[in-house]
Structure 1
């Protein structure tokens, strides 16, 4: 299989978690590529995630939104983009229950803006669209074989529905306009730089502070977790060896219950799981299991390198050193965070006048949690 060689790559959402690891890897490993990254610096993005790349001459950062057609067209033209890796999206399932409109806007409309710009531009040679295993919906608990790339899409929550909708647009533009598209669908990812609304960093920060680890429902839900650097390598391989018009699952065969994740983190901090884990109300719908068949990606030469125990320890050590990376994350550490539905109440707002942090953020959740330096 001929190896694709890009020249000018646009990575959207690159100050976020997964995309920053991909961007840093490509900038470092391919000095002959120009890497242009676009990010609107939302609450879950951080320019510090891109610090390893900022001194390289082949790196350029643009602050902006994929939902801006004029900006996207301008970047494609002025930077002579030939490759797009589209990571930008709202990704936290809990938030999608609280503000599905924002998910449709970012994930569906934002993708459509990019696709339409590519159609008009006419010079794109690869469009790698990043999706999720959640588009398949719930995998049967007893299934011995995971969902493969041709499995039916049956999303069950607003987030996964928005990602499935975006995928349909990508496929349609590929067929209608011969846009050279590739789609990936990935398992959960964990590691350094991840915003702590997600399970692993959230539990690590709570455990660092001696706070309870809240588990939705009974903790029996099963997920698969991939370390961020392994995922970055997968995208490197898909970029260079992936076949246009194809879908690639990015995942691991190792599965863990949410309860197991919490227990493993308790042990890392020498905490008693029976005293630390707290079961809370489940979210409106919580898929019991996602399970992927990843043989297609493995045939391209990729394999998981980082075992869960090693990756979890690396992640814990990073957060111990960088506990203040994200600043005040108290709203994200709540049992049921709603980051997108929280808002600053203006002085002339009819509900203004409250003095608590919850009033100022427009949230009515339980007591916020901080991570004081004294605990570290």
Structure 2
């Protein structure tokens, strides 16, 4: 994105989307944000962005969107993403994560070829399923373990097929577990910190031995921008992290920062159905483009816990 681009972002009031929009506006790009304002939308950040003359907001659902504004790049962040919700009721995940992507692909396809934007699909490491040793590469088989991951894997297949059948230019980007400030408090770090600060124990699935690779959202955004700038079209790129942690160790660190005794910091709940043991991505391809991880988990989590503010979601 060396020149000033017109970028359509879907789901731009969500966690990664809003950080990507801020990055783009700071770089001088023109951003058109399409968001249906779900329960997890950050309304405060929308007011912040609206102060920029380079920002436009459209309240719409990608499932029913019937018009694609002029743009050079289309970046789809819009998704239902909370695994627990998907296990309870998967229908909305199928609608948004699969049919919504199909609708967006059609809107791009129907543009005149000189006006067709590049379609950037933000996927997830969960499409691969878990891996006990080593790391998943982009060409590995997709073996999703839960309904959320299955809908994201299905969407990836749609993107690839629209590229082959209709000539839509695309990239699929699969980041690992994101964290950072102003994340909706259904995810592990903000939810655990919020409960502890209210004098309640955090809930932990099983014995907390499940391992996740933690990628700071600002590193993820730079990775996405790197792929847009320098990546080869019609390719998949993983964005991984060297910061592996067991869930129980993350919760213990939050308790330490919050000044909570470990024995009262959390309680064990039953294992999540279809629980993945470990995620890990081989991100050699994106590193070859010049991207590298900058943020350190042990440093960033202090700021996240100390500056926790969920009022923007209430």
- Number of residues of Structure 1 aligned to a counterpart in Structure 2: 312
Task: Tell me whether 1:19 sits opposite 2:8 in the alignment.
Answer: no
How much has 1:310 moved relative to structure 2? 1.3
Correspondence for 2:233: 244
Correspondence for 1:44: 40
Correspondence for 1:137: 129
Correspondence for 2:247: 258
Task: Tell me whether 1:179 sits opposite 2:175 in the alignment.
Answer: no
Correspondence for 2:85: 95
Correspondence for 2:289: 300
Tell me the SS of whatever aligns to 1:325. helix
CA distance in 2, matches of 1:304, 1:166: 27
How much has 1:5 moved relative to structure 2? 4.5
Aligned pairs for 1:31-70 within 5 A: 31=28, 33-70=29-66
Contact persistence 2:16–2:221 (CA under 8 A): yes
CA distance in 2, matches of 1:178, 1:47: 36
Unpaired stretches in structure 2, ≥5 consecutive residues: none
CA RMSD of aligned residues (A): 1.3
CA distance in 1, matches of 2:224, 2:124: 13
Tell me the SS of whatever aligns to 1:226. strand
Unpaired stretches in structure 1, ≥5 consecutive residues: 328-376
TM-score normalised over the length of structure 2: 0.96
Correspondence for 1:325: 312
Match of 1:284 among 236, 250, 273: 273
TM-score normalised over the length of structure 1: 0.80
Contact persistence 2:137–2:238 (CA under 8 A): yes
Deviations 1:286-337 (A, max 9, x none): 1001110011111111111110111101211321xx242222xxxxxxxxxx
Runs of 4+ in structure 1 over 4 Å off: 3-6
Deviations 1:21-46 (A, max 9, x none): 000110111x2x21100000000112
Contact persistence 2:124–2:174 (CA under 8 A): yes
Contact persistence 1:190–1:225 (CA under 8 A): yes
Deviations 1:51-76 (A, max 9, x none): 44221111111111111142xx2xx2
Say if 1:51 and 1:304 are closer, same or farther in 2 by CA, change over 3 A.
Answer: farther
CA distance in 2, matches of 1:69, 1:306: 36
Contact persistence 1:24–1:52 (CA under 8 A): no
Tell me the SS of whatever aligns to 2:45. helix
Tell me the SS of whatever aligns to 2:74. strand
Deviations 1:244-292 (A, max 9, x none): 0111111102210000010000110121212222101122121001110
Larger Rg: 1
CA distance in 2, matches of 1:51, 1:250: 30
Bigger mean CA deviation after superposition, 115-124 or 287-296: 115-124
CA distance in 1, matches of 2:261, 2:237: 40
Contact persistence 1:16–1:49 (CA under 8 A): no
Task: Tell me whether 1:107 sits opposite 2:97 in the alignment.
Answer: yes
> Higher relative CO (CA 8 A, sep ≥ 6), structure 1 or 2?
2
Say if 1:51 and 1:236 are closer, same or farther in 2 by CA, change over 3 A.
Answer: farther
